[in-house]
Amino acid sequence: MRIISGKYRSLTLAEFKGEDIRPTADRVKESLFNIIAAHVPSARVLDLFCGSGGLGLECISRGAAEVVFNDFSRDSIAVLKKNLARLKGAENYEIFNLDFADCLNKLSGSFGLIFLDPPYKQESGVRALEIIARKGLLAEDGIAVLERDRPFSGEIQKLSLYDERKYGITYLSFLRLKGEI
């Protein structure tokens, strides 16, 4: 796993050992950032189920104004901190070690980019999107990206699916506020 572009381009990141954790593959990450590249510079970013932090770290490298990282796992936060230590001079981040709902309820303001990459076996991403919409955490022109192993289905009040891409078994679902498409 590496940072693809920006200030820290090609920096290899610490990863988890074992098969319980599934970081976003470099190929999927590269495709994702090709789609959202124009939205990253100066954005406030939330990496809600951050794992080792690959998506948020990529945003720091590409000039995001601030990145908020959250993961429930202490092991994930430990790997994230190792990776952040490799980004010399980066200070534009905040770290939470909370359940996703507790984190969302604690946050205020809005985010230009929100990444949701929960464990595939859970519906945490959809529940998180519902809280994000209810609390108004997605900026007017913001994008929420849900990563999971199946297409997005259903409806979330205030949010609309505007694009969806499939990479192997991974689906990336892109959502915006209704009326912003």
Q: Are 132 and 103 in contact (CB under 8 A)?
A: no
Confidence (pLDDT) at 93: 97
Mean pLDDT of 73-102: 94
Confidence (pLDDT) at 104: 98
Confidence (pLDDT) at 84: 96
- Determine the length of the chain: 181
Mean pLDDT of 65-94: 94
Confidence (pLDDT) at 60: 97
Q: Please report, rounded to a whole number, the percentage of residues in the chain having pLDDT higher than 90.
A: 82
Whole-number Å distance between alpha carbons of 116 and 125? 6
Q: Are 173 and 149 in contact (CB under 8 A)?
A: no
Confidence (pLDDT) at 181: 54
Q: What is the mean pLDDT of the chain?
A: 92
- pLDDT single digits (tens) 17-74: 654 555 677 789 999 999 999 999 999 999 999 999 999 999 999 999 999 999 999 9
Confidence of residue 14 (pLDDT cuts 50, 70, 90): confident
Domains of the chain and any CATH numbers: 30-177 (3.40.50.150)
Which residues are within 8 A (CB) of 92 and not within 5 positions of it... i.e. 6 or more apart?
60, 64, 65, 66, 67
